[in-house]
Amino acid sequence: MNISNLVKMANQIETFFRAEADPDAAVAGIESHLRRNWEPRMRRALAAALGSGEAAELGSLARLAVQRLDESGKSATAEKG
């Protein structure tokens, strides 16, 4: 999976949601978009790249959204197991 493409797409989503006056609402909107429209493997790849420093170009709001997704995914996995 091409991480730079994922970063580019996430940053494009961030650009759209930056029009939101409330930064928390913008992050929630990005998170929701990624959850609804991206395959789980795409979300996992981006979260892993963020964790390893490969996604340094990820915008600040998109970064927060990916971190929230990663945290919620880990907690859901812990609840199942």
Q: Residue 76: is its pLDDT beyond 90? A: no
What pTM was estimated for this model as a whole? 0.88
Three-class HEC string of the chain: CCHHHHHHHHHHHHHHHCCCCCHHHHHHHHHHHHHHHCCHHHHHHHHHHHHHCCCCCCCHHHHHHHHHHHHHHHHHHHHHC
pLDDT at 71: 86
Tell me the per-residue pLDDT of 42-69, one tens digit each, with 9 for 90 and over.
Answer: 999 999 999 999 999 999 999 999 999 9
- Asked whether residue 79 carries a pLDDT value surpassing 80, the answer given is no
Q: Which of 22, 15, 20 is nearest to 62 (CA)?
A: 15
Q: For position 72, what pLDDT does the model report?
A: 77
